[in-house]
Amino acid sequence: MPAVSKGDGMRGLAVFISDIRNCKSKEAEIKRINKELANIRSKFKGDKALDGYSKKKYVCKLLFIFLLGHDIDFGHMEAVNLLSSNKYTEKQIGYLFISVLVNSNSELIRLINNAIKNDLSSRNPTFMCLALHCIANVGSREMAEAFAGEIPRILVAGDTMDSVKQSAALCLLRLYKTSPDLVLMGEWTSRVVHLLNDQHMGVVTAAISLITCLSQKNPDEFKTCVSLAVSRLSRIVSSASTDLQDYTYYFVPAPWLSCKLLRLLQCYPPPEDGAVKGRLVECLETILNKAQEPPKSKKVQHSNAKNAILFEAISLIIHYDSEPNLLVRACNQLGQFLQHRETNLRYLALESMCTLASSEFSHEAVKTHIETVINALKTERDVSVRQRAADLLYAMCDRSNAKQIVAEMLSYLETADYSIREEMVLKVAILAEKYAVDYSWYVDTILNLIRIAGDYVSEEVWYRVIQIVINRDDVQGYAAKTVFEALQAPACHENMVKVGGYILGEFGNLIAGDPRSSPLVQFNLLHSKFHLCSVPTRALLLSAYIKFINLFPETKSTIQEVLRSDSQIRNSDVELQQRAVEYLKLSSIASTDVLATVLEEMPPFPERESSILAKLKKKKGPGAVSVNELEEGKREGGELNGGGERGGDGSAIAASNASTPSPSADLLGLRTGPPVTAAAPSAGSLLVDVFSEAGVNDDGFLRDLEPPTESSDSLLAEGPGDSDSAPPSVVSEDPATPLPESNELLNKFVCKNNGVLFENQLLQIGIKSEYRQNLGRMYLFYGNKTSVQFVTFTTTVTCPGELQSQLNVQSKTVEPLIEGGAQVQQVINIECLTDFTDAPLLNIKFRYGGALQNLTLKLPVTINKFFQPTEMASHDFFQRWKQLSQPQQEAQKIFKANNAMDTEVLKAKLLGLGMALLENVDPNPENFVCAGVIQTKAQQVGSLLRLEPNAQAQSGEQMYRLTVRSSKDTVSKRLCELLAEQF
Amino acid sequence: MIGGLFIYNHKGEVLISRVYRDDIGRNAVDAFRVNVIHARQQVRSPVTNIARTSFFHVKRSNIWLAAVTKQNVNAAMVFEFLYKMCDVMTAYFGKISEENIKNNFVLIYELLDEILDFGYPQNSETGALKTFITQQGIKSQHHTKEEQSQITSQVTGQIGWRREGIKYRRNELFLDVLESVNLLMSPQGQVLSAHVSGRVVMKSYLSGMPECKFGMNDKIVIDKQGKGGTTDDSGKSELGGSGKQSIAIDDCTFHQCVRLSKFDSERSISFIPPDGDYELMRYRTTKDIILPFRVIPLVREVGRTKLEVKVVIKSNFKPSLLAQKIEVRIPTPLNTSGVQVICMKGKAKYKASENAIVWKIKRMAGMKESQISAEIELLPTNDKKKWARPPISMNFEVPFAPSGLKVRYLKVFESKLNYSDHDVIKWVRYIGRSGIYETRC
């Protein structure tokens, strides 16, 4: 027979391939291929049936032509025919052709599936393997549909050959990856897990890949694999290098299997069973011990295999984070690697150490390597290694070594790679702030930073310096002195000028006593930099100048001269021109008192997440430095800076008591009602004018920094709407019943904290509130809109009914007398004891021209004010969502949209609600999901929210579906009610 | 100006590399190889811009010639130079092939030094070059010192293409009119586009410094003379079919020896010819073209697996003339599995490597017709794409000028030597070839 005599050589194919290789040009190759294709076509077309050998040969040629990049549009049928051959080589070529060429939507798929099915049910292991490989290679959904049920059976059947089991496990893994919904393990789970006990190492290796993948999706079902994996691991680790024969790689027993086992264990928490855990710890210790042994071979493969296991073990140790002993040993091991001559090892060691540094057990151990790491930062030739070294330094920093690390990083910064400079700057800035015990050190460091790497200092860094200097009285003098000195350098960076301008403008008076830094010297110094700066900086400097006029009246004429010069007052830049004109007018018209009020020292900034930290997070993306570490840092930073925060609060209260409210708060009352201006006496109108002007300026001024309070523009936009809607008759005598529209007013404040609560022709009540944990503080501003004084002005806050036990409200008394056009402030402290639904009532009584006015409002205190936002990843969110699955925990509402569906507006509202708006969590990008924890004194109530807008609901109206789930049913219900009114 | 010149073989290996300017680096050599020769898609444009560098290439058999520049040069000039370069090389060592180039390595560098100076093209006239670049087979005819000292003055002189003191015993002159006719025709026989590009190639063996004058049936000249009352009775031609008197030339270019000022003012072509081979002029016409052959295709699809093709060709010129080297190429579908051909005349064969039926006829007289019919069997495929039906193309050679161009006279004047126009033996030949001659089916 020809097939036998010709053997498997396929001479025709060899000749064809050598012909192609000998072609001198592309054209010649195409000619040769065309000829061959014509030949194959005539052979396939020919009436006499081809024998298996020729079929195989021609299909092979077609495959070769296809792989050369030519289209093949025939021969599929012949390839499918080959599948039913009994010869291995023919079947193999058939499967090969199909894996490479057949796409899933082909009509032939049914025939192919049939052939595969036959092979799978045959008892011939090689045929079964071929079929499994084909399924895995094609891996389409159709294949999964047809065979997903069959393969697990083959995998766990007792009589299946080892090689087939291996293929089946990997094939199943592939199908699971492409269409997880079709691969249902259910009944097979335990038997698959028991494959870990298989005699054959190959089967174990294949099965473990499958199990790792499956257990990531449903960890609980595969929990039993932990103990099996541990025992398997211990057997491998304790075996001598000769025990495993085929699976020993350069004297390392089964390195791949060990790595996979260790990785599987990383999917689970430490085993609870003491014996298992002991065994595992023993294994890990053995691995660490082995690393200390002298290498059995000088070959690089030996050390690679060994180190692979070691690093996998170390990441398991870090993952468990519960064995101090192991953590320290791992750290020491990594410390050795830090000085290894292999660059890759040093890189890996630095990277692993970063995670080790965040563990409380090994933090100290990591710190011992600080010198080595600093050395690495300075001497490594590869920038990626240096980057890791910088990361590690950042991670290992704490109060004890902060000064050293910051100093080292600063000195390195001068020579650092441009690609990592910005990140280094941010890190230095964060560390300096976080561990600053002595704030003069902090100021020095940051100013140094700006001096060394000014170009890489982002806006956030210098914003932060100013926030801190303003919030801390004790450094202001020092800061002013230092920036003054720094500015004396002939060339200083623009960021330095910005910081200098701002700080001298605020606190220049603190150093004015020294004749070397007299006001005029300060001004001249700043002004000498003016012309070298960009427009935003110049604008800032102009604001600093007007502040100078306030601080040092003796500089007034000089500064007015500067402002009056054509280069300012006729500047082509609108912003600069406006500032110059306004400041000039302000300085020449307003009395010193007015100036002092308008240009008062900036109020302390509210404590918030450090803007630099946010920037670093954004820059690094998730995963680079563990987010926990950053959170921890933030918390620590908050504690450390707590003193400053309290100081800030204190001064704010002091300001309000002195009844010289800060400009931004005052604007709230006075700027919103244009009719007032008309009715008000001349003194009042002047005040209003000045304020509005100052307000604009102030706005501009604040635009450079992040404004400490909500921008007054937005208040202006929201304010006036109410003044018309509130008729005077609402002033009722009955103190118990609130105004009819007070519910509506309440709803207005669900998503915002500041604004105008109430307004009629006599009175305007502005509100400003802040909440932290379960505590809240509310500032109420009562503005007298008339020219006549209010007498016996009293306010009382009551908690009706059961609210008394839910909310603790304390209010300070207010001045009983409000002059015409004046404004008084009241502070109300609120403590949330447990969750509540009603709102406390505010009763206001006063006499206006003899008539008693009495009105009752609801204070806008709603449960959502006590939210703490919680960031979480997508799977966390859905896991928690599922946990809150009891029917009473969920509240749902479907309602019509009151306003247009504007994504930005919706986002702003949800953010105002106080929950964290989670991006990229819901599969549908239209939907919004939020998470937060309500802090009450009694308990914490976790809540999740999902808002699904539907722009094209039936009847053309826009609808929303709001679902709230929280651990307490009343909370869900109340939140749902509150929110339903908002959209 | 040209920055450098490279010659590659088919694999993209550099055979010759000559850089004239500093702005062209060594990496330019690789850039062209990677982006053009080894490009995934076949590069069709002869000009390629890679990283602000322009590459102009021509291909001769398997050899790539590429001129490189970073400046904004006249592309036509560069291509003219490349063609000249090919002509010069052919004149020196015959066919341009890898082996010939390798064997004449030194010569080529010498030529490149001479015909390009700092990227500016110099004298590329083969006759002149051969006087001072001598290699192997080409021996300098004059060895005397005086003659060698003349080379400089001659090459740099006004008539750089011809040296003084040439003497022949027999003054002879050969003139070939070579034309290629291009056609695209619809299946119904409608001409979609047609033009003729022609060349007048001469070979002159004339003594001294003769002044020549060339006349043809250019419409403008004939009309002018017709107005002037002189009738030219040689207008009757023995050429194919048309008895037309004159032709309209769309555009033409001349050899540098032609006095352009005279052509502009009098439209007469007068020149002092170079010695030996040269191309006097090139021209193009688009009107009143004589199409030597007409192809009538008939394609019928019988079911999914069979195709019947019948093609008739008709010769359309004087019966006394003979067309030669006729070849008709009928494309076949890509899934052809077998072909049966029947033809009355010539030989036809299915060439699988080219996906076409090639029908060859050695000779065919005018006003005849011949036909071929073929049955093509097809293999059913899963591909639903319909066959694009590429056009049927044709090659031939006919002994007349399809444009209708005719040489009216070629006069030679040599005042200093004692031979006149009548003593010169003149040979004129017309050859019409097919360019891209296609009929859609």
Q: Is residue B353 within 8 angstroms of chain A, CB to CB?
A: yes
- Is the backbone of residue A7 left (phi > 0), alpha (psi -120 to 50) or beta? left
Answer whether residue B399 shows pLDDT above 90: yes
Nearest CA in chain B to A106: B382
* Tokens coding A469: 């200097």
Query: Between chains, do B381 and A74 touch, taking CB under 8 Å as contact?
Result: yes
Residue A57, annotated as binding a ligand = yes
| Best to test chain B binding among A42, A61, A104, A109 (most B CBs inside 10 Å) | A42
**Segment 76-95 of chain A within 8 Å of chain B by CB:** 76
pLDDT of residue A643: 36
Query: Is A374 a domain residue?
Result: no
pLDDT of residue B322: 94
In percent, how much of chain B has pLDDT > 90?
51
Query: Is A1 a domain residue?
Result: no
Q: Which of B338, B352, B382 sits opposite A34 (nearest CB)?
A: B352
Query: Between chains, do B336 and A38 touch, taking CB under 8 Å as contact?
Result: yes
* Tokens coding A522: 């300060």
Nearest CA in chain A to B355: A34
Residue A545, annotated as binding a ligand = no
- Cα distance from A46 to chain B (closest Cα, Å)? 9
Query: Between chains, do A106 and B337 touch, taking CB under 8 Å as contact?
Result: no
Contact (CB, 8 A) for B417 and B163: no
- Mean pLDDT in order along chain A per 10 residues (983 residues): 51 91 86 91 81 89 91 85 88 90 74 89 89 89 84 84 90 89 80 86 90 86 86 85 77 89 89 87 88 85 90 89 84 85 87 83 79 82 85 84 83 79 82 78 82 78 82 82 83 83 84 79 84 86 84 81 82 86 83 78 73 68 41 40 36 36 36 35 36 38 39 37 39 51 72 80 83 83 81 82 81 80 83 82 80 81 82 79 78 78 77 79 79 82 81 68 82 80 76
Measured between beta carbons, the chain A residues lying within 8 angstroms of B37 are none
Query: Between chains, do B62 and A45 touch, taking CB under 8 Å as contact?
Result: no
Query: Is A539 a domain residue?
Result: yes
Q: In 3-state terms, what secondary structure has residue B278?
A: strand
Read off the DSSP letter of residue B197: E
Q: Which of A35, A73, A74 sits opposite B352 (nearest CB)?
A: A35
pLDDT of residue A952: 67
- Cα distance from A92 to chain B (closest Cα, Å)? 23
Query: Is A820 a domain residue?
Result: yes
Any bridge partners for residue A851, and if so which? Answer: A848
Query: Are both A487 and A499 inside the same structural domain?
Result: yes
Query: Between chains, do A34 and B382 touch, taking CB under 8 Å as contact?
Result: no
Q: Is residue B337 within 8 angstroms of chain A, CB to CB?
A: yes
Query: Are both A549 and A477 inside the same structural domain?
Result: yes
Query: Is A965 a domain residue?
Result: yes
Q: Residue A842 belongs to a domain with what CATH number? A: 2.60.40.1230
From A861, A876, A910, the end of a domain falls on: A861
Answer whether residue B314 shows pLDDT above 90: yes
Q: Residue A424 belongs to a domain with what CATH number? A: 1.25.10
For residue range B376-396, list pLDDT tens digits in order.
Answer: 988 877 666 778 889 999 999
Spatial distance between the Cα atoms of A77 and A93, rounded to a whole number of angstroms = 13
Q: Which of B336, B353, B379 sits opposite A44 (nearest CB)?
A: B379
Query: Are both A829 and A893 inside the same structural domain?
Result: no
Query: Between chains, do A38 and B382 touch, taking CB under 8 Å as contact?
Result: no
Query: Between chains, do B338 and A42 touch, taking CB under 8 Å as contact?
Result: yes
Query: Between chains, do A45 and B337 touch, taking CB under 8 Å as contact?
Result: yes
Nearest CA in chain B to A29: B353
- Cα distance from B41 to chain A (closest Cα, Å)? 11
For residue range B203-237, list pLDDT tens digits in order.
Answer: 999 998 899 999 988 888 888 776 654 444 444 44
pLDDT of residue B383: 65
| Best to test chain B binding among A21, A27, A34 (most B CBs inside 10 Å) | A34
Query: Are both A450 and A491 inside the same structural domain?
Result: yes
- Cα distance from A547 to chain B (closest Cα, Å)? 56
* Tokens coding A14: 């060899």
From A569, A598, A627, the end of a domain falls on: A598
Query: Are both A870 and A794 inside the same structural domain?
Result: no
From A576, A598, A620, the end of a domain falls on: A598
Query: Between chains, do A107 and B382 touch, taking CB under 8 Å as contact?
Result: yes
Query: Are both A449 and A545 inside the same structural domain?
Result: yes
Spatial distance between the Cα atoms of A983 and A903, rounded to a whole number of angstroms = 11
Measured between beta carbons, the chain A residues lying within 8 angstroms of B375 are none
Query: Are both A417 and A537 inside the same structural domain?
Result: yes
Q: Residue A924 belongs to a domain with what CATH number? A: 3.30.310.10
At residue A740's C-alpha, the angle toward residues A738 and A741, to 5°, is 105
Q: Which of A756, A805, A745 is nearest to A779 (CA)?
A: A756
Domain count, chain A: 3
Query: Are both A890 and A967 inside the same structural domain?
Result: yes
- Cα distance from B338 to chain A (closest Cα, Å)? 6
Query: Is A336 a domain residue?
Result: no
| Best to test chain A binding among B43, B99, B334 (most A CBs inside 10 Å) | B334
Spatial distance between the Cα atoms of A358 and A624, rounded to a whole number of angstroms = 13
Residue A533, annotated as binding a ligand = no
Query: Between chains, do A32 and B379 touch, taking CB under 8 Å as contact?
Result: no
Q: If pLDDT is split at 50, 70 and 90, which confidence band does B330 have?
A: very high
In percent, how much of chain B has pLDDT > 70?
90
Q: Is residue B342 within 8 angstroms of chain A, CB to CB?
A: no
Q: Is residue A44 within 8 angstroms of chain B, CB to CB?
A: yes
- Cα distance from A5 to chain B (closest Cα, Å)? 28
Q: pTM of the entire structure?
A: 0.57
Query: Are both A807 and A875 inside the same structural domain?
Result: no
Query: Are both A811 and A879 inside the same structural domain?
Result: no
Any bridge partners for residue A894, and if so which? Answer: A961
The residue whose two tokens read 């063609």 is B83
Query: Are both A427 and A557 inside the same structural domain?
Result: yes
Q: Is residue B336 within 8 angstroms of chain A, CB to CB?
A: yes
Measured between beta carbons, the chain A residues lying within 8 angstroms of B331 are none
Q: Is residue B97 within 8 angstroms of chain A, CB to CB?
A: no
Residue A848, annotated as binding a ligand = no
Measured between beta carbons, the chain B residues lying within 8 angstroms of A71 are 383
Q: In 3-state terms, what secondary structure has residue B22?
A: coil
Contact (CB, 8 A) for A753 and A735: no
At residue A429's C-alpha, the angle toward residues A427 and A430, to 5°, is 65
Q: Is residue A107 within 8 angstroms of chain B, CB to CB?
A: yes
Query: Are both A847 and A919 inside the same structural domain?
Result: no
Nearest CA in chain A to B61: A25
Query: Is A615 a domain residue?
Result: no
Q: Which of A774, A754, A660, A674 is nearest to A707 (CA)?
A: A754
Distances (CA, A) of A932 to A459, A832, A877, A904: 30, 16, 11, 20
Spatial distance between the Cα atoms of A646 and A633, rounded to a whole number of angstroms = 20
**Segment 41-60 of chain B within 8 Å of chain A by CB:** 42
Query: Is A916 a domain residue?
Result: yes
Nearest CA in chain A to B333: A38
* Size of chain B in residues: 441
Spatial distance between the Cα atoms of B216 and A946, rounded to a whole number of angstroms = 91
Q: Which of B10, B334, B353 sits opposite A24 (nearest CB)?
A: B10
Range of the domain at A532: 397-598
Answer whether residue B288 shows pLDDT above 50: yes
- Cα distance from A6 to chain B (closest Cα, Å)? 26
pLDDT of residue A586: 84
Contact (CB, 8 A) for A799 and A840: yes
Contact (CB, 8 A) for A401 and A374: no
pLDDT of residue A2: 38
Residue A290, annotated as binding a ligand = no
Q: Is residue A45 within 8 angstroms of chain B, CB to CB?
A: yes
Contacts of A372 (CB under 8 A, 6+ apart): A335, A338, A339
Measured between beta carbons, the chain A residues lying within 8 angstroms of B10 are 24-25
Q: Is residue A24 within 8 angstroms of chain B, CB to CB?
A: yes
- Residue by residue, DSSP assigns B103-163 as HTHHHHHHHHHHHEETTEE----HHHHHHH---TT---S---HHHHHHHHHHHHSS-TT--
Q: Is residue A55 within 8 angstroms of chain B, CB to CB?
A: no
Q: Which of A31, A39, A42 sits opposite B354 (nearest CB)?
A: A31
